[in-house]
A and B are shown apart, each in its own frame.
Chain A
Amino acid sequence: MKKLLFALLSILVIAGLVIGGCDGTAEPTNGDGNGDGNGGEPPPQVLKIGNLLTLSQFTGYEVQKWFDVFVEEINNDGGWLIGGERYLIEYTAYDCGFYDPAKTRTAVEKAVLDDGVKFLINNSGDIAEVTLTVTEPNGVLTFGGGLSDAVLDPSVQYTWRCPGVFFGAGLMYVQYNDMVARGAETAITVKDDTDLGQFGAFLCQTDMMMAGLEVLPAVFFAPDTTDFGPIATKIVSYDPDLVDLNFCAYNVQVAQALNDIGYEGFVITSEMTPATLNDLITRVGAEYIEGWESTYFDPRGTATDPRILALIDAYTEKYGEFVPDGTFYAGGWFVFEDAVNATQSLDLEVLKAYLDNSPPPVQTLCGYMQLFARPDLGNYRTVDSAAGHWIGIVEDGELVPRDVVSVKDQYLISIATYGLADLYRAYWDEYGYPTFPDEPSKFDFDNLP
């Protein structure tokens, strides 16, 4: 009797789910475009673009905001003119949780299988291996991949890693170089125990060595640390000249603890956004952080390109306050835009041909971004990106731009950091030496070991 009722109930439930879920895959609709006489032009079509983002984290949230601005810029103009046709962009951000495989899977499946999105631009926070299992068989152009090398395997056809962090070692090297010039001799890197932290520690320590610093043992702490006193105590027990907090969360708390314990040396923080700067001043005072350095993402201080300036204005107008936190992370959009504009096509294979073969560098919100090949992974197509950066220094309670790290620096210094100079030389000899955007650089091909 019990079993009968259970069975009946289950049948009802399943029937309900089937009926409820049976809306099939979304059909592409023709937009209800401009019926007001475009001189015979057909109504614009709909171009569906999406990305997988960790919406519960600030950067994910900011990337979504930027994409809304980018899409609006195009849609307000009447749509994107591609190959003679107008396209209105329909953009959706899909929350993939934070390193959550189940949520990544349902998000990407919803996007690709249910909503029919063919372009996932600028994913972050997803588990790339999971995303791949859906985007590859379904031919979805994907920009993403984070820290995963799986997306760069030669067998992967439709994923490009931008923004990526592999060619990011140049930034640290230039920072450390600067610190050495200011008198630092020993350095310690402090990270939280996460994927990014562990990867970052390796990069930082190698670059410290290259810059001529004596490298002290790295200090890792758990992301759910409740008290930073012990961490500062441990750091200071090594007596470093320079404390490096690149890639590290909790800058403010670590700074406070360092201040408590009386640390007076150099400090490099991770991205010092206006909010972080403000918090730091609140906690330890402007004087304590005088001379601290970090990456500088605020394009308002460095951008000269009129279009970028226009986008900044659009963002500020739409949201009321300009927040630079997402500028670097939204970089993939420009690479995509460039590819579509250059090829005047949305055809996957056409775009792929363009992206795989050394497309020219593009100007993003906070510097140039360019795609390069990864011969060290056996991938001779240009699938990984390097991005230029600015470095800033704190002067009188303000973060001011100090120096630029060019794409060339990022690319070459990273190769040197990973000890891949010989391998890449062989690759360049065969495939040709890459050209770089026109910016001042510190490193050149002759500087490679």
Chain B
Amino acid sequence: MSKAAKIALGVLALLLIALPWLLGPYQLQIAILTVTYSMLGLAFAFSLRVGLPRLDIAGWWGVGAYATALLMQRADMSFWFAMLVAGIIAVILGWLIFIIALPRGMIVFLLFGMVLAMAFYQLFGSLEFFGGWGGTGIVPQPTIGSFTFANKPELYYLGLFFLAVNLLVYYLLYNSKIGRAWNAIGSSLKLASSVGVNVVRYRMANVLIGNFFIAIAGSYYVAYSLVAVPSAFGFNFSVYILIYAVIGGFLHSLAGPVLGAAIVTYASEYLRVVQEYEPIVTAGTVILIIIFMPMGILGLIDQRVKPWLARRKLYALFSGGGK
């Protein structure tokens, strides 16, 4: 990474930390939503790496949220412990279900995921155990000692922390041995398995790790929403999550979903001014982005900006020499 890049990233980090002083509570809430949606988008990109697009993310997000909420309400667990247990539940449950679907290939996995997402939604709403369609009712806020995460800035920093951990873990994994195996599987299944890579085992690991972080996003959701309702975890939203990854840039597994989530979330909230036309405008805009920037915004930068800079021999200035 070039020096200029490091500086810029540093400035970015500072800006993100300073956000609560720059934005009002309403905008900060949008930032909180963005953080959550980023984590979900990251999970999509994460499993896409092994050639598994997944349409069940909202369902697992709900599992994390409901588990956290119910454990805090009924088992009197602290937020942190409940979050951990929720993550474990998502992993174990995921394992039990995916062990059926994964070995049968990407399409079966995808279809299973769709059906699973629909089933989760139905279960969360219909079963009294989860509180019915009205949801779980109010859940206590996270606390550390006597400090409660009650206000927006605190909740925002909490989310930023989770997002940072999420990014770090994914980054380390992508650059590890397991990450290389994943890349191999993602690029060519046949080749990977012919070299002796146990495709199913690596994919399972990937999907389960994804589940864990999706559940964390669910716990965070409960921390600021204070209630889990089925309507938040419907299948439709699962599909929406794809949008974050695509707009940001399909191939940029870390930065893409975050950027995509930010853009879509802020755009749709700021478009409140057009009131009832907002969904139309947002959807239309995203369609245009998908058509004209199929590789996402970051992809566009890769394709256009870099060669432009290279042609003007400015590339070297920015790339820190031969990277």
Contact = CB atoms under 8 A, between A and B. Distances in A.
Is A–B contact present in the complex under a CB 8 A cutoff? yes
Given A14-B15, A99-B133, A194-B133, A2 B226 contact: no
B138 A129 contact: yes
Interface string B128-169: 000011110110000000000000000000000000000000
Given A13-B262, A99-B229, A3 B23 contact: no
Contacts of B2: 1, 4
Contact of A11 (B12, B226, B297): B12
A8 interface: yes
A150 interface: yes
Interface string B188-213: 00000000000000000000000000
Given A3-B1, A7-B5, A148 B134 contact: yes
Given A99-B231, A127-B227, 18 more contacts: A4-B318, A5-B301, A7-B12, A9-B297, A9-B301, A11-B8, A14-B19, A95-B276, A106-B26, A106-B30, A106-B269, A109-B29, A113-B25, A127-B135, A130-B227, A150-B138, A193-B125, A195-B133
B25 A1 contact: no
Nearest to A109: B26
**Chain A interface extent, by class:** 35 or more
A4 B8 contact: yes
Contacts of A148: 134, 137
A10 interface: yes
Given A105-B29, A148-B134, A114 B301 contact: no
Interface of B is mostly: helix
B92 interface: no
Contacts of A130: 225-227
A13 B229 contact: no
Nearest to B231: A99
Contacts of A101: 135, 225, 227, 229, 231-232
Interface of A: 1-11, 13-14, 17-18, 20-22, 24-25, 55, 95, 98-102, 105-106, 109-110, 113-114, 127, 129-130, 133, 147-148, 150, 193-195, 198, 222
User: Interface centre among B29, B259, B297, B320, by most A CB within 10 Å?
Assistant: B29
Contacts of A222: 122
User: Interface centre among A6, A8, A98, A114, by most B CB within 10 Å?
Assistant: A6
25 contacts: A1-B2, A1-B306, A1-B323, A2-B306, A3-B1, A5-B301, A6-B255, A7-B12, A8-B8, A11-B15, A13-B263, A21-B23, A25-B24, A55-B276, A95-B275, A98-B231, A99-B231, A101-B231, A109-B26, A109-B29, A129-B138, A133-B226, A193-B125, A195-B133, A198-B132
A231 B133 CA distance: 21
B227 A110 contact: no
Contacts of A100: 229, 231-232
Interface of B: 1-2, 4-5, 8-9, 11-12, 15-16, 19, 22-27, 29-30, 33, 122, 125-126, 132-135, 137-138, 225-227, 229, 231-232, 252, 255, 259, 262-263, 266, 269-270, 272, 275-276, 297-298, 301-302, 305-306, 315, 318-320, 323
Minimum-distance CB pairs A-B, first 9: A4-B5, A7-B8, A1-B319, A195-B134, A195-B133, A21-B27, A129-B138, A7-B9, A3-B5
Contacts of B12: 7, 10-11, 14
A1 B301 CA distance: 10
Contact of B26 (A3, A10, A113): A113
Contacts of A17: 23, 27, 266
B134 A99 contact: yes
Nearest to A25: B24
Nearest to A55: B276
A314 B172 CA distance: 67
B242 to A, nearest CB: 18
B225 A5 contact: no
B179 to A, nearest CB: 18
A13 B132 CA distance: 40
A102 B33 contact: yes
A114 B132 contact: no
Given A7-B12, A13-B263, A105-B29, A2 B137 contact: no
A22 B270 CA distance: 12
Contacts of A3: 1, 5, 8-9, 255
Contacts of B134: 99, 147-148, 195
Contacts of A22: 22-24
Contacts of B319: 1
Given A113-B25, A193-B126, A193-B133, A1 B259 contact: no
Contact of A1 (B135, B262, B320): B320
A336 B275 CA distance: 27
Contacts of A7: 5, 8-9, 11-12
Nearest to B301: A5
A25 B305 CA distance: 39
B24 A113 contact: yes
